[in-house]
Amino acid sequence: MSSEDLRAGSRTVRVSRADKLFFPDDGITKGQLAEYYRQVGKTVVGHVRGRPLALERYPDGIEGQRIFQKNVPAHYPDWIRSVEVPKKEGGETVHAVGQDVATLVYLVDQGCVTPHVWLSRVDALDRPDRLILDLDPADDDLERLRAASRGARDALGELGLSAWLMATGSRGFHVVSPLRREEDFDGVRDFARQVATALVERDPANLTVEQRKDQRGSRIFVDYLRNGYAQTSVAPYAVRARPGAPVATPLSWDELDSARPDRFDVRSVPERLRDLGDPWSGFLRRGRSLTNARKRLEELRATAAGRE
């Protein structure tokens, strides 16, 4: 099989076996996947720079073995930045770090289809700069999923936090709020749990925080667990290992009425970015403190309890 050299920023990265089919039903090769990340790489790097990465790898394409890799192998070149991350149970894991477009292309050469990122950066590993509510539906009811997304947006807005929307490229939506790096993961996760619980209290027929799938019924799971230490979420503009090569795509809230979680793919996203730009541009500049949000949440819950 042939190799291909791609110019990625200041480096040329060799992609081996570039003509190997990674998405057989769609005719998308490893080289085409690498070219996608090269095209959108500057935008992706804006969202992953300085963050530990976990790699969802499919060395033989998406119909082959799935490997979820955190540790950096010894054969990675020295220009791939890495960071030693302490484990809560002791020891360390050495993660690759989102750094530049060449890193993204090199990771595709290693079979990575989907990079996942930490919610914090290497200069403050225990201080997340975002909160994620992952809305995971049990069925294909898009209107109910969209309503749940609006509800999460409105609830965060009531607490003085901004809310940003992303189609995951899979089944659901992420509603994400940028934060100032003031609190550790335990504090952010506890706050996310309280918000998720409040959402369920407002709409118990359609939402749940029940972790067991067999206890959810047809309700949408409001997953706040991604906000824990060493947890990851799919990177914006990452390709998902699903037929059609859908992409996790940031959206504007105006798009929600017609949005599907898997609407955009490797063929449409580069053109979308050229035509519309990135709806998440300036995301981190909108970070807010949880101090006032926590007080406001307590006030709202007390008011609600008083009405009962």
d(C-alpha 221, C-alpha 53), whole Å: 25
CA distances from 268 to 31, 62, 258 (A): 17, 20, 16
Q: Say yes or no to pLDDT of 135 above 70.
A: yes
**pLDDT at residue 306 greater than cutoff 80:** no
Tell me the per-residue pLDDT of 40-90, one tens digit each, with 9 for 90 and over: 999 999 999 999 999 999 999 999 999 999 999 999 999 999 999 998 888
Q: What is the average pLDDT score of the chain?
A: 96
3-state SS of 173-242?
Answer: EEEEEEECCCCCHHHHHHHHHHHHHHHHHHCCCCEECCCCHHHCCCCEEEECHHHCCCCEEECCCCECCC
Average pLDDT of span 143-154? 98
Q: Which runs of E-coded beta strand occur in 89-187?
A: 92-96, 112-118, 130-136, 164-167, 173-178
9-44 pLDDT, tens digit per residue, is 999 999 999 999 999 999 999 999 999 999 999 999
Separation CA 165–CA 163 (nearest Å): 7
Backbone phi, psi, residue 207, to 5°: -125, 155
Q: Once rounded to an integer, what is the mean pLDDT over residues 223-236?
A: 97
In tens, the pLDDT along 160-182 reads: 999 999 999 999 999 999 999 99
Q: Which run of H or of E encompasses 106?
A: helix 101-109
CB 127 within 8 A of CB 181: yes
Q: What is the per-residue pLDDT across 261-282, written as a single tens digit (0 to 9) for each?
A: 999 999 999 999 999 999 999 9
For residues 12 and 3, is the Cβ–Cβ distance under 8 A? Answer: no
Distance CA 126, CA 16 (A): 37
| Mean pLDDT computed over 227-236 | 97
Give the bridge partners for 94, in sequence order.
84
Answer yes or no: is pLDDT of 247 > 80: yes
Element (H, E) at 300: helix 290-307
pLDDT (0 to 100) of residue 290 = 96
**How many C-alpha atoms does 204 have within 13 Å on its Cβ side?**
1
Question: What domains are defined for the chain?
Answer: 1-118 (3.90.920.10), 125-308 (3.90.920.10)
Helix 185-202, helix 142-158: angle, nearest 10: 120
CB neighbour class for 88 (10 Å; exposed up to 12, middle 13-18, buried from 19): exposed
